[in-house]
Structure 1
Amino acid sequence: MSGERAPTAENPPVRRLADWSPERLRELADDHGTPLYVFDLDRARQNYRRMAEAFPEADVYYAAKANTARPVLQALADEGAGVECASAGELARALDAGVDGSHVHYTAVNPPDRDLDVAVRLAEEHPGVTITVGAEDTLDRLADRGYDGRICVRVNPGVGAGHHEKVTTGADAKFGVPYERAADLAESAAGAFEVVGIHAHAGSGISGEDLSAHRDLVGRMGELARDVEGRGIDLEFVDVGGGFGVPYSPDEDPLDLEAVAEATREALGETEATLAVEPGRYLVADAGVLLTSANTVKETPSGVVVGVGAGMTTLARPAIYDAHHEIRNVAPGADERPSREVTVAGPVCESGDSLGDHWLPDPQRGDLLAVGNAGAYGYEMASQYNSRPRPASVVSDGDDARLARRRETIADVTAVEPEVDR
């Protein structure tokens, strides 16, 4: 499933915020308003090609939770990517986007009954879908629904890594079957299901500092694969997850993907199964920016606060993870102004509603600000908290741009509420 196309001549390992055209961003903001997510499909294609080039003999599954916009799913699938889905909704969206069932993994954690109902139905309608299970209970629940198809066993390898403790999954008991029981579970499940793979995931946002943890996880999965194969089970794949990090700050170096790939192959060792990886953030983060307009510039004793239309309901990562996203003032002539340190704050009535402190050209009301690396977990984590409608999203493909998600209205927020006579 991995692509055979080599990277294009100009395919740098990271796209910085300064590489986006201010003129083009202003044009899109004028056409669609703000806050606005902008996504470059060609950049996502480039990122996939680089991943496929680094892992030429592996299957690459895009972790859809990073960005489920239909054009994104379709563009990556057209390049050769499979899709890894963490919920029934993502599974439905991948299949609705035309991804073949044989290229889709459903990897839910403690799935609710209604999700399993949907997954079993869709697996029947789309042969080849693989359902990943992380608990013996889930096998029982699948059997109760008459499912006897393809399964993958998710393993807790006892090894975790990532950019924040809240996304370090590999050592969290919530995720997967304990390592020492995984082979036995796979063997017992083989009598009722088609056991096709084993899976583990260290965490999200793994950088060079975490490579030793990633290597340990892959090594343990290689040992487990050989144990399972020794029990007469022909595994199709060993999935070592994704979590490949991207640089959110301009002084961070991009991930040495070739080194990661080499370390992964060496750690896995000999197995008849195909290696599978699940990049999400790596494929889409630097393909997206968030545009927002300054509506208030306030001098305070502690500094300048720039109020913008995008807050924690638009981009949740800074509030949840203390995540840094670079910001650039792309208003005409902004680069000619003197810079100063300012706090960029959203419209939600919480002190945590901030996009952080940044050095920006002296801000003015009406300035257009671009927030970098917003292609992953940006729109996906947006909410209607404070009854705020979610923003619009556009995708750019070459010279063309089209609406991927329209801007919500207050009527959209209240549409799910039944009318009650008073």
Structure 2
Amino acid sequence: MTVAPHFQFKNGALHAEDIPLSDLARQFGTPLYVYSRQALRDAWEAYRSAAQGRNVLVCFGMKANSNLAVLNEFKNLGSGFDIVSGGELARVLAVGGDASRIVFSGVGKQAWEMQAALKAGVKCFNVESEAELLRLAEVAKQAGTIAPVSLRVNPDVDAQTHPYISTGLKENKFGIAIESAVAVYQLAATLPSLEIVGVDCHIGSQITEVSPYLDALEKLIKLIETLADLGIHLKHLDLGGGIGIRYTDETLLSPTVLLDKIFQALDAHKLSHLQLVLEPGRSLVGNAGVLLTTVEYLKHSDAKNFAIVDAAMNDLLRPTLYDAWHSVEAVVPRSNTSESKAYDIVGPICESGDWLARDREFDLQQGDLLAIMSAGAYAFTMASQYNTRPRAAEIMVDGVHAHVVRPRETVESLFASETVID
């Protein structure tokens, strides 16, 4: 049983919407990323429905998946964008995205990135340090413009998630300690090239409970009230992203439950006039994609059975980086479970950390096709060319139609720009 509703078994074979995944593998080869267009739309609808009648701006956290076809889909649905680099800004602009619906996050913004964002006219900069604030003020002054700013505050809230994707604790590199925020806001108010427009926080990713958000919100409300007493009035409150998806059997937090609780708190403090900004990433794209891979070899030993596949850690880094668990499905499973064995699914890269799944029960043969599920987020965007391996193609399925939204790289393209010295 898969965990993604748009990837289901029909007539004994796993499909993406109405196309057998085995057909896509034959046509386009493996490794292969396959996305469901309808899955993107349905995930967006959950946020649109939850936000209906409320002043909410949903900005897709595009670091999760920055393919232009994905960005264009969300742009057409009405999404804003949360970016963390000048390159991501360029991608949004390339699909005709509205810069006034872009929030620029990230701890290390360079001057050229600030210049590009100011020229484009982004909604605001989520400033993450006093040093960044001063640099932005100088860049804006030199450009003869006013930079809209929102301080990213670190509320020291434990999101109860993997430490690598926790962003709201004191020991994390992100944001300004909430104890220091008032002083930094007061500094910002003295800089004529800055306009204070909001407050921002982001506490982590793959969050499945509402309580961490409410803990962070409680601290932000106190900050907003203190700022108002000092004559600093905000226009929006950005609570970041982080809603989790189902990789296996997680109980999920819905956007409706989250927004209902947030607005209850804002109403109680007479702050519902603030625009609420959200930055979902994984929850919009995570279960909209799979990674297809072919079994190249089976290797049996007394200690382990290995299924060596043609995908690797350069294609999907999450298991190596986070010890992440992805469901793996045989695209055309066999019915004779008596032949099943526990396999580690591993790639061909020369690293012991090159694994995609461990101890999974399969009846496998060489040449079988596997689908690594929930691979729409933080998958291709983290892909590399390690071991001079071309990155996989990306396919968007729309009903019975399959579109190549990024072709497979060729080996020659990987070193075409390199030179040798005589």
The normalised TM-score by structure 1 is 0.89
2:25 aligned residue? 29
2:224 aligned residue? 225
AA in 2 matched with 1:180: E
CA distance in 1, matches of 2:335, 2:235: 54
CA distance in 2, matches of 1:400, 1:305: 35
From 38, 43, 60, give the equivalent of 2:39. 43
Query: Which aligned pairs between 1:14-413 and structure 2 lie closer than 5 A?
Result: 15=5, 18=8, 21=15, 24-56=20-52, 57=54, 58-111=56-109, 113=110, 116-124=111-119, 126-145=120-139, 146=142, 148-171=146-169, 172-191=171-190, 192=192, 193-208=194-209, 211-249=210-248, 251-268=249-266, 269-271=269-271, 272-331=273-332, 334-336=334-336, 338=338, 339-413=340-414
1:4 aligned residue? none
Contact 1:328 1:360 in 2 (8 A): no
CA distance in 2, matches of 1:267, 1:140: 33
CA distance in 2, matches of 1:395, 1:158: 39
Following TM superposition, the consecutive aligned residue runs of length 4 or more in structure 1 with deviations greater than 6 angstroms are none
Change (3 A) 1:30 1:119: farther
AA in 2 matched with 1:248: Y
Which moves more between the two structures, 95-104 or 282-291? 95-104
AA in 2 matched with 1:322: D
Contact 1:16 1:372 in 2 (8 A): no
Q: 1:121-140, CA deviations, whole angstroms, 9 ceiling, x for partnerless residues?
A: 3422x224422211111122
Q: 1:219-255, CA deviations, whole angstroms, 9 ceiling, x for partnerless residues?
A: 1112222222333334221001111011111x33333
AA in 2 matched with 1:262: D
Structure 1 residue runs without a partner (length 5+): 1-12
Q: What is the CA-CA distance between 1:360 and the residue it aligns to?
A: 4.0
Change (3 A) 1:36 1:187: same
Partner SS for 1:185: helix
CA distance in 1, matches of 2:344, 2:40: 31
Q: 1:317-373, CA deviations, whole angstroms, 9 ceiling, x for partnerless residues?
A: 000100000000113x53455433211111111221111225444101111100000
The normalised TM-score by structure 2 is 0.89
CA distance in 1, matches of 2:252, 2:401: 29
Change (3 A) 1:140 1:390: same
CA distance in 1, matches of 2:224, 2:4: 34
CA distance in 2, matches of 1:229, 1:78: 36
Contact 1:222 1:270 in 2 (8 A): no
Partner SS for 1:260: helix
CA distance in 1, matches of 2:250, 2:211: 19
Partner SS for 2:205: coil
Which moves more between the two structures, 198-207 or 231-240? 231-240
Q: 1:284-324, CA deviations, whole angstroms, 9 ceiling, x for partnerless residues?
A: 00000000000001121123211001111110000010000
Contact 1:155 1:177 in 2 (8 A): yes
AA in 2 matched with 1:161: A
CA distance in 2, matches of 1:241, 1:336: 47
Partner SS for 1:43: helix
Kindly tell me the number of residue pairs found equivalent between the two proteins: 401
CA distance in 2, matches of 1:194, 1:415: 45
Contact 1:17 1:373 in 2 (8 A): no
CA distance in 2, matches of 1:14, 1:266: 31
Structure 2 residue runs without a partner (length 5+): none
Partner SS for 1:291: strand
CA distance in 2, matches of 1:312, 1:157: 34
AA in 1 matched with 2:298: V
Contact 1:216 1:267 in 2 (8 A): no
CA distance in 2, matches of 1:27, 1:335: 21
CA distance in 1, matches of 2:172, 2:307: 42
CA distance in 2, matches of 1:398, 1:368: 21
CA distance in 2, matches of 1:67, 1:229: 37
AA in 1 matched with 2:70: V
CA distance in 1, matches of 2:23, 2:160: 36
Q: 1:48-102, CA deviations, whole angstroms, 9 ceiling, x for partnerless residues?
A: 1102222332211110000000111111111111100011111111121111011
Q: What is the CA-CA distance between 1:399 and the residue it aligns to?
A: 2.5
Partner SS for 1:383: coil
Q: What is the CA-CA distance between 1:14 and the residue it aligns to?
A: 5.6
Partner SS for 1:102: helix
Contact 2:313 2:347 in 1 (8 A): yes
